[in-house]
């Protein structure tokens, strides 16, 4: 096998792992703080960690695009809380979440750090991330179905007789 093939394989593996990490972070960022804590408690994990940054709450300015797809413009701020942690083994984790729940942001950073260990990652994904993702998908599906029921079905009125 050539070195180029090897490099490509490593690259695509890295991309896949990065996408998995992004996907996990997206689920954690959107997760309800209460449900997140409950699932975490159920895992009985208690890794030692130190805070590298935060948790701290600040603002991100939201951008839109003129007419939806044109030049960008700033249209308002959101509260965001971020945290970064380092575990005893040196693994580093980061978290960003809308809102001001600092405990949840810290917990998300810890989760982002411990999934560097593949065995723990599998368990976290199965017993914590997947239920959260399911809850989010269920909510989206329910809302879409509720919206779909308000779709207008037009019909044409036939006037006169023929």
Partner 1 sequence: MYVAVKGGETAIDNAHRLLADRRRGNRDVAELGLDHIMEQLSQAVDRVMSEGALYDRELAALAIKQARGDMIEAIFLARAYRTTLPRFGYTNPVDTAAMQVERRISACFKDLPGGQLLGPTFDYTHRLLDPGLAEGATPETPETRAPEQARMMRVSDFLGQEGLLEPAPDGSAKPVPDDIARTPMTYPLDRDARLQALARGDEGFLLSMAYSTQRGYARSHPFAGEIRIGEVELELEVPELDFAAPLGRIQVTECQMVNQFQGSAKAPPQFTRGYGLVFGQAERKAMAMSLVDRSLRATELGEDLVAPAQDEEFVIAHADNVQATGFVEHLKLPHYVDFQSELDLVRRLRAEAAAGTGEAREAAE
Footprint of partner 1 on 83-142 (CB under 8 A):
84, 94, 96-100, 140, 142
Q: Which two tokens stand for residue 55?
A: 């948790």
Looking at the Cβ atoms of 92 and 120, the one nearer to partner 1 is: 92
- Using the rule CB under 8 A, is 63 a contact of partner 1? yes
Distance, CA of 27 to CA of 29 (rounded, Å): 6
Distance, CA of 15 to CA of 7 (rounded, Å): 12
- Using the rule CB under 8 A, is 74 a contact of partner 1? yes
Distance set, CA 114 to CA 10, 26, 41, 46, 129 (Å): 22, 17, 15, 10, 13
Instruction: Among 11, 12, 38, 77, indicate the residue that binds partner 1 (CB under 8 A).
Output: 77
- Using the rule CB under 8 A, is 69 a contact of partner 1? yes
The pair phi, psi for residue 23, each rounded to 5°, is: -60, -45
**In the bound complex, what is the minimum distance in angstroms from residue 15's beta carbon to partner 1?**
10
Contacts with partner 1 by CB under 8 A lie at: 18, 22, 25-26, 29-30, 56-80, 82, 84, 94, 96-100, 140, 142-152, 154
């Amino acid at each position: 096998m050539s070195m180029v093939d090897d490099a490509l394989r490593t690259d695509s593996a890295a991309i896949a792992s990065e996408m998995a990490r992004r996907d996990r972070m997206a689920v954690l960022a959107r997760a309800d703080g209460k449900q997140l804590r409950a699932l975490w408690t159920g895992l009985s994990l208690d890794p030692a960690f130190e805070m590298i940054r935060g948790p701290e709450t600040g603002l991100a300015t939201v951008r839109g695009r003129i007419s939806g797809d044109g030049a960008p413009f700033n249209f308002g701020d959101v509260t965001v809380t971020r945290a970064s942690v380092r575990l005893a083994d040196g693994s580093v984790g980061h978290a960003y979440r809308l809102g001001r729940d600092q405990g949840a942001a810290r917990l998300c950073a810890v989760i982002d750090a411990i999934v560097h260990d593949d065995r723990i990652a599998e368990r976290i994904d199965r017993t914590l991330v997947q239920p959260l993702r399911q809850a989010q998908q269920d909510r989206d599906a329910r809302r879409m179905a509720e919206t779909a029921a308000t779709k207008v079905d037009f019909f044409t009125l036939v006037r006169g007789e023929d």
